[in-house]
Amino acid sequence: MGKYLRKCKVCGRYTMTKTTCPDPNCGGETFIVKSPKFSIQDKYGKYRRKFKIEQEYLKDL
């Protein structure tokens, strides 16, 4: 298994094992996705929480 998370440039699918897209119809190349640095002062926390609440609301519909 790969060490890093990879994302397809064409369709946006994620994989950890391949350098090409896991979707057989896409065939795009993947690149290593870097995660954001951890910060105690979470600048985008309120947006993430708001998004999560909206997603839960939409799931119930």
Domain ranges of the chain: 1-34
Higher-pLDDT residue of 57 and 54 is 54
Q: What is the mean pLDDT of residues 18-38?
A: 83
Q: How many CB atoms lie within 10 A of CB 6?
A: 20
Quote the pTM value: 0.51
Backbone angles phi, psi at 32, to 5 degrees: -75, 130
Radius of gyration of the chain (CA): 16
- In the 8-state DSSP scheme, what is residue 37? P
Tell me what percent of the chain is helix, strand and coil, each rounded to the nearest 5: 25, 15, 55
21 in Cβ contact with 6 (< 8 Å): no
